[in-house]
Structures are given as C-alpha cells and as structure tokens.
Structure 1
Amino acid sequence: MFSFEEYVTPRDLREALQAVGALPTDGKVIAGATDVLPYAREGRGGDVHYSIVVDLSRVREFQGYELDGNRVRLNANVAFQAFLTDPVLREHLPCMPYCAIWFADDQVREQATLAGNIANASPAADGVPPLLALNADVELASLQSGEIRRRTIPIGQFILGPGRTAMRPGELISAVICESMRGYGGSFQKVGQRRSLVISRVSAVALVKTNAVGNVFEDVRLALGGVGPVPVRLHDIETMLIGQPITRKLVAEASVMPAERVASRSRVAYRRRVVTGFVEAALEDALVACGAPVPSAEQREAAHV
C-alpha cells in the first residue's frame, strides 16, 4: 500500500528546490512515479508511507527540450515516449528511439522520465548506456543563499554504483544535456527474462558515422549496461574502429573484446556470450541505419571463421 500525509506539487524550480530542501528523511521526490507505485502495489516494500511527497511533474522549467548548436538540452521531465514520437529528438539522438521502444509499455513511457531513470542508478537502467554514448552531462540545481545554482557533471561520473549518485542533499536533476548525433546511425540491444516490460540483464548501444561513401568508420560510440555495478563506455574498441575500413571481419573481431568487461556476480558466462552478440548486432544495425549495406547471413558466418 502506498500512502502519504502531504502531497506537494511545485509549479516552478524555486518552489521545487525549497520543497526538496525542507524534505524530511521520510519524504519522497517523484516525477513519473513509475518505480514508486509498482514497488508499493506489488508489496515489495511492504506498506510504503511517506510524510511528504514532492511531485515534480508540473515544474515549468522541467518541461520540453531545446537545441543549442550541437547540444540537445533535455529538461528533467522529458519522458521516454518523446524519443519515439518527436521527430527532432529522433533525428538528433538516433539511439534513443531504439532504447525507448524497449522501455516498458506505452502507458509507462508516457510517464517515466529520463531524469528519473538515471537518478535511480540501477545497473539495469536502460537510459544510462545511451547517455554515455551521447557524451551527456547531468545538470543539477540547488538553492544556495536564496539563489538558484547549477552545476554539471558527466553521466559517467554521476552514477557511482547501484542506487548511488553524485547528487548532493537539496539538489535536483534539472536537465540532461547531450551531444547531437544528427547524421549518425543508432542502435540499442537488450535482453531480459521476457519481451514485454523487460528489465535488462544486458544492454548495448552503438552510434556510428561513416565517411561519405560509407566504407570507413568516421566515428563510433559504444556502451554497455547490465554487465557490472555501473554501465561502461568502450573507448578502446571505439579507437580500434575509427578510421578503419568497414568489414564484417573487423566488426566481428571488435565484438569479442568487450566480453571480459563483464563484472556481474551472476550468470557471468551467459552475459559474456550475450555481450559479444549484442556489440556485433548493435554495430551492424547502426551501420544499416546510416546507410551502410546490410550484411548477409553468409558474410556474418564468414566473419567468424
């Protein structure tokens, strides 16, 4: 059962920060509430009761997004469904539609915010590996001496471990700021115990840009989730690929390398097998998305001989 004594809905950032700054230890901050409500309804948390709930869904500054040069500012209440339905976001963040389609179902995607997903800091969080590949920064806001202050921190430094982030008391995530990947091909791979509402055991994301004729890797971004306490960016494999002619054999060779990154305590051998296949599939799908030819089954087989 989920219950509370007071429910606060601030309308602007200052009100929100004031409410969070005064939040007692038994209070709770929510946005989409897509984690809190199932936790209470399914009984996993027993009787979930908070003295105060601060609902951020109506904060003006947290709505929508902005483009600024080669950066995309996603304000804190951007929900996963936007990555499927908004053509601008689909163009500039080409891995996010593939991430979003795997994220829960239509109803949950309409409510679940990207900021909330990363604030939970789950090792299985779908939103974090794409943000690593997008070189995202997390913008944090707080009240200091009555003034609103902001600081930014790279997503890779924001997630410290399962359920742990670099967010300080009194701070809120105000935005996630990503590089525009317009012109790149994007991909997201994921596996879990079921197809619908699946929680990741392993996920992989790829962003690829080729040269004008489509036969050389001009830029590559790769990241993995679910393989350890925090998602990881595969910088060394990116470096190996960038500037090289695109061949099925090279993609196959690159896909084997991340298997040793698996640091999970459970089903390590399984995760290593999945990682190899997912990195290969993510690279190939991203290449197809940016106009490279689709590999045949024979080519894939030959690459592994």
Structure 2
Amino acid sequence: MLTFDQYLTPDTLEEALWLWRDAPEGTRLIAGATDILPWAREGRAGDVHLPALIDVTKIQELSGYTVEGGRVRLGANVVYQDFLTDETLRRLLPCMPFCSIWFADDQIREQATLAGNLVNASPAADGTPAVLVLNGSIELARLEDGVVERRTLPVAEFIQGPGRTLMERGEIVTAVTMDALDGYGGSFEKVGHRRSLVISVACVAAVVKTDASGRNFEDVRLGLGGVGPMAVRLTDIEERLKGQPISSELIREACASAADRVASRSRVAYRRRVVPGFVEAAIEDALAHAGAPYRGEHQREIINV
C-alpha cells in the first residue's frame, strides 16, 4: 500500500521546481505513476509511506508537442497512447507506434509517459531502444538563483545503468526531443516470459529508409534492449547495411554480430540465440512499412497499428 502526507499538483513548471527543490527527503515526483504504484504494492516494496507526491500532470508547458528543425519536441507529459492515436507522431516517429502497442495495455498507455520510462532507466524499458534510434535527447530544468535553467543531454548519455541517470537533485524532465523521420519505415520486436504485459527478455527497435528504387538501404538505425545493463545502438550493423542492395543474405550476415551484445546475467544462451533473428525481423518489418518491394523470410504480414 502507498500512503503519503501530501499530494501536491502544481500548475506551472516554476511552482513545481520550487516544491521539488524544498521537498522533504523521500518525496516522489510523478506523472502517470505507473511505476511507483506497482513498486509500492505488497510483494514489491511492501507498505510505503512518503512525505509527499508532486504530480506534474496539470502543467500545460509539459503537454503536447512541436515540430521544428527536423526534430519533434515532446512535452514530458506525452503518454504512450499518443503515438498510436496522433497521425503526425505516427508519421514522424515511425518506430514509436509499434513500440507503444507492445507497451503494457490500453489503460497503462493512457497514463504512462515516455519521459518517465526513460527516467526509470530499466534495462528492459521498451521506450529506450526506440528513442535511441531516433537520436533522442532529454531536456531537464532546475532552479538556479530563483531562475529556471535548462540543460539537454543525449538519452544515450543520460542513462548510466540500471536505475541510474545523470539527473541531478532538484531537476525535472521537461521534454524528450527526437528526429522527425518522415518517409522511414519503423518496427519494434519483443520477447518476454508471458504473452501480455511483457517485461522484455529482448527488444529491438528499427527505422529504415530506402533509396527511390526501394531496393537499396539509404539509412538504417537499430536499438537493442533487455540484454544488458543499458539499451544500445547497433552501429556496426547499421554501417554494414547503409548504401547496400537489400538482400536476405546481407541482412542475415550483418545481424549475426548482434548476439555479441548480450551482456545479461541470466538467460544468456537464450538471448544470444534469439537476438540475431529478432534484429533481422525488425529490419524486414521496417522495410515493409517503408514500402520496399523486398520480402524477407522473417517478415510477417504487415500490421498497421
């Protein structure tokens, strides 16, 4: 059970930062609260009592998104369901709808924020590989002599390990910014211990762009999660494929090295066995959603989520 002395709902970022700066030790900042509630239930953390919760969902500055300079800036309160229902986000962030459909269930997607998923820094977080392939960065705000100051870090640097980030005391995430990839195909592959509400044993995000003929790779971006302390970009495979004619043999050969990225402490042999095939399938599905004529052996019927 989770109990607390105060439940605070600031209306502005500045108000939230003052509350957060002066909050008693143990206060938690929440938006969707989809991580803290399971953590606090019996069997995880047991009974938990906190001095306060600061809920930032009423802050308008943290809502919505803008598109500028080839980047999409998502307010920190943007939830996973938005990647399924907003046509602009579906088009510009092509792997996010497929990541979202795998993310928990309908009710949780309406509450869970992408920013919160990143801050939680779970090795199995679905959002992290997808954000990495979109060259994501995270914007943080803090009070400095009473003035709101901001800084921005690449997500690849922000996440330092399981549950560890470069967020400093008194900071609040204000936005996540990613490349706008209109014209790319995207995909997301995942395997876990059960069929629903799955925590990843391995997950792969992919975005692919072909040349005008649809027969050659122009750009390939791949992110792998759930197989080590942090999600990683598969830059060696990306570079092997870029500019090359699309073929099953090339994809299979390039993806074989993905098994070497497994750095887990459990189910190592299983992960090494499935990861190359998962990366192949992610590339093939992304090609299909990009409209390429290629059809691979791992590719399923195209699913429009």
Q: Report the TM-score, using the length of structure 1 for normalisation.
A: 0.96
For residues 218 and 265 of structure 1, what CA distance do their matches in structure 2 show? Answer: 36
CA contact (8 A) 1:10 1:58 kept: yes
TM-superposed CA distance for 1:255, in Å, is 1.5
Aligned residue number for residue 95 of structure 1:
95
The answer on 1:136 being equivalent to 2:147 is: no
The answer on 1:204 being equivalent to 2:204 is: yes
Q: Give the RMSD, CA atoms, in angstroms.
A: 1.4
SS state of the match for residue 206, structure 2?
strand
Aligned residue number for residue 111 of structure 2:
111
Aligned residue number for residue 218 of structure 1:
218
SS state of the match for residue 274, structure 2?
helix
TM-superposed CA distance for 1:293, in Å, is 2.3
Q: Report the TM-score, using the length of structure 2 for normalisation.
A: 0.96
Please tell me the residue identity of whatever aligns with 1:229.
Answer: P
CA contact (8 A) 2:281 2:299 kept: no
CA contact (8 A) 1:248 1:299 kept: no
Equivalent positions of 1:160-171 (< 5 A) are: 160-171=160-171
Aligned residue number for residue 56 of structure 2:
56
Equivalent positions of 1:36-47 (< 5 A) are: 36-47=36-47
TM-superposed CA distance for 1:227, in Å, is 1.0
Number of residue pairs the alignment of both structures matches: 300
Instruction: Structure 2 unaligned segments of length 5 or more: list them.
Output: 301-305
Aligned sequence identity (%): 60
TM-superposed CA distance for 1:296, in Å, is 5.5
For residues 249-297 of structure 1, give each alpha carbon's deviation from its aligned partner in whole angstroms, at most 9, with x where no partner exists: 1011112111011000101110111211110000000000001125264
For residues 132 and 272 of structure 1, what CA distance do their matches in structure 2 show? Answer: 21
SS state of the match for residue 111, structure 1?
coil
Please tell me the residue identity of whatever aligns with 1:154.
Answer: P
For residues 139 and 253 of structure 1, what CA distance do their matches in structure 2 show? Answer: 38
For residues 33 and 235 of structure 2, what CA distance do their matches in structure 1 show? Answer: 34
Instruction: Structure 1 unaligned segments of length 5 or more: list them.
Output: 301-305
For residues 107-164 of structure 1, give each alpha carbon's deviation from its aligned partner in whole angstroms, at most 9, with x where no partner exists: 0000000000000000001110001000011001111011111110000000000000
For residues 174-223 of structure 1, give each alpha carbon's deviation from its aligned partner in whole angstroms, at most 9, with x where no partner exists: 00000001100001001111121111110001110000010110000011
TM-superposed CA distance for 1:6, in Å, is 0.6
Aligned residue number for residue 192 of structure 2:
192
